[in-house]
A and B are shown apart, each in its own frame.
Chain A
């Protein structure tokens, strides 16, 4: 099983700041990596797939990069609606696995 490790667990950020979230895979997952955003009481929302392709309707301030075992989600200028928990997920190997999440909170 591919273990996905996200860092940091919590990030305290001010609106307008640039945010970088990390996700590391225990073995290569190629570019088969997705990112999701989840707000309290809501279902997750797909942000990025294929490591760097934005899903439909996702603002350009969200970008993804990486391949193999190291991945990054960047939010170029954090907006108030971006405070949430972010999960990475690999779909290169069964079982598909998620990271434990990074909570982005208001500083």
Chain B
């Protein structure tokens, strides 16, 4: 059974930092590109960042560039998001989400497996 469990969320003051983690199991983590997607309370979904299976490339949405860093440890089946200089508008549930693999190969771009999310609240 596929499981992805996020942790590390919480309440932080503006300008502060948090490190989110996502522990994955039930699939070959090292084959999959991985992503962070967030959802502000009562709002829609927003893609935040992506990392390729071997960490060859990382992409970020403009609003977090220079503040957030995505990384992964394939030996530990884990994905991370280091968030610095946090702002009120970063408050959201943060989901880790995998790309897609099938017999035909692996793709990134759409999100196959999702964790249950971890809540980040940025407030003084």
Residues of A within 8 A of B (CB): 32, 34, 36, 38, 42-46, 49, 55, 87, 89, 91-92, 94-101
Contacts and interface: CB of A to CB of B under 8 A. Distances in A.
Given A43-B117, A97-B47, A98-B47, A55 B95 contact: no
Interface residues of B, number: 20
Contacts of A49: 100, 110
Contact of A99 (B44, B62, B95, B109): B44
Contacts of B112: 46, 55
B59 A94 contact: yes
Q: Is the interface of A mostly helix, strand, loop or mixed?
A: loop
A46 B111 contact: yes
A36 B109 CA distance: 13
Contact of B111 (A42, A44, A97, A101): A44
Given A98-B46, A100-B44, A43 B100 contact: no
A101 B112 CA distance: 18
20 contacts: A43-B95, A43-B114, A44-B37, A44-B45, A44-B95, A44-B111, A46-B112, A49-B100, A49-B110, A87-B44, A89-B47, A91-B108, A91-B110, A94-B59, A95-B61, A96-B109, A98-B46, A99-B44, A101-B44, A101-B45
